[in-house]
Structure 1
Amino acid sequence: MPLHRELDKKLSKTFEPSSRIDDVFKGYDITFVTNEHGEPVTLFFGKRRPDGLIAGERYTRTIKRQPGSMEVKSSHWDLRGKIMA
């Protein structure tokens, strides 16, 4: 299942490197983890539990770069499974 176009656009931006960011998207709680370049690479999407973790779905991002540079050639998100409460 592909990500919502607006969520994919939001996650295409660069954030604080090697960090965890908690946010909300269209009424759903999201948490994403960034790599050393500040690019989101893991996404948790669903409803936040009282302990701060999310029950819902987990996605991971595959990034392909231009040869010899850090420029992103393409990327896509893969659904890795459900996260239970």
Structure 2
Amino acid sequence: MKIGEKLLKQLSKRYAPSTLVTFRFGRYDVAAKTDNEGNPVLAFVGKADEQGHIKGDQFTRKLLKDETGTVLKDHWDYKGKA
């Protein structure tokens, strides 16, 4: 599975630092874990069960910045089924 442009736009937003953010995106449930700056770095996309665990796909984000904070690399990697 690949992350689409619309979902990438949603995941490029900043959220509360060091939290788990859950939202509904189309027919999928999404859970994203943020870093200490509020950038999503781990995402689970699929269907949530009664306990809130998502069965679907896992993605991790490679976010590389230089010393001034300029983003050098921003890439999502598919890590398999979750």
TM-score range, shorter chain: over 0.9
Cα deviation for residue 70 of structure 1 reads 2.1
The aligned residue for residue 4 of structure 1 is 4
Contact 1:2 1:77 in 2 (8 A): no
SS, match of residue 41 in structure 1:
strand
Pairwise mapping of residues 1-40 of structure 1 onto structure 2 (< 5 A)? Answer: 1-40=1-40
RMSD over aligned Cα, in angstroms? Answer: 1.0
Structure 1: gaps spanning 5 or more residues: none
**Aligned partners of 1:80, 1:47: CA distance in 2, in Å?**
17
**Aligned partners of 1:13, 1:73: CA distance in 2, in Å?**
17
Sequence identity of aligned pairs in percent?
35
Aligned length: 82
Instruction: Give the TM-score taking structure 1 as reference length.
Output: 0.90
Structure 2: gaps spanning 5 or more residues: none
Matched to 1:80, the amino acid is K
Which stretches of structure 1, 4 residues or more, deviate above 3 A after TM superposition? none
Contact 1:35 1:41 in 2 (8 A): yes
Q: 1:26-85 CA deviation, whole Å, 9 max, x = no partner? A: 1100000000000000000000011110000100000011x21223222111110102xx
Asked whether 1:72 is paired with 2:59, we answer no
